[in-house]
Amino acid sequence: MLRTLITAVLLLVVGLVLNFFILPRSMETVFLDVFAAPGLDLQQFLSEGPPKLFKVFWFCNMGAIIVWFYRTMGRRAASAARVAAMRTQWWIAAGLLVAAGLICSAFSIWFPFPRVSLLGDVLLLALLLVDEALLFWLPTVLASPRSYRLVAPGAQLFQGN
């Protein structure tokens, strides 16, 4: 139980550093030219758009992980049917997070900055999918209680024999 909790906290802290510091800074340096478009105030975009998007999405993932752990911690799967039901709930949560990412993108990127290049929009959406993999999928695979570790797709890759 303690190992599970430490793993979950460590993954969420890594996600916090990634979303609050690394991703916004990489937008200003590595990906600067990707977002440039005629009529776009690039400095305003870089200081307002991606930082807000990544912070809000981190909180969305954090909320989903807290709910997931609340539903699974201290509970043993009574049957395969219970595990199957949790698998459905996992997919619902993942789908809601993708929807939340799209809504966050709309309100922090597309509506306030409609002139962002198409490549910039695609890059941000790809980064949100990577973010969801790191902040939701990986914690549910590595930090779920033993009876629920195989609920997330691909979890078998991390299980030792």
What percent of the chain has a predicted confidence (pLDDT) above 70?
94
User: Quick check: is 36 in a domain?
Assistant: yes
User: Quick check: is 92 in a domain?
Assistant: yes
pLDDT at residue 83, rounded to an integer: 79
User: Quick check: is 21 in a domain?
Assistant: yes
User: Quick check: is 160 in a domain?
Assistant: no
Averaged pLDDT, 113-131? 92
Write the pLDDT tens digit of every residue in 24-47: 889 888 988 899 899 999 999 999
What percent of the chain has a predicted confidence (pLDDT) above 90?
52
CA dihedral 29, 31, 32, 34 (to 10 degrees): 170
pLDDT at residue 1, rounded to an integer: 67
Write the pLDDT tens digit of every residue in 68-110: 888 887 666 667 777 788 899 999 999 999 999 999 999 999 9
The domain tally of the chain equals 1
User: Quick check: is 158 in a domain?
Assistant: no
User: Quick check: is 62 in a domain?
Assistant: yes
Q: Helical H runs in the chain?
A: 2-17, 23-29, 32-35, 42-72, 80-105, 118-132, 138-142
User: Quick check: is 159 in a domain?
Assistant: no
User: Quick check: is 161 in a domain?
Assistant: no
The pTM of the full predicted model, rounded to 2 decimals, is 0.85
Note down the domain range covering 143: 2-152
pLDDT band at 155 (very low <50, low <70, confident <90, very high): confident
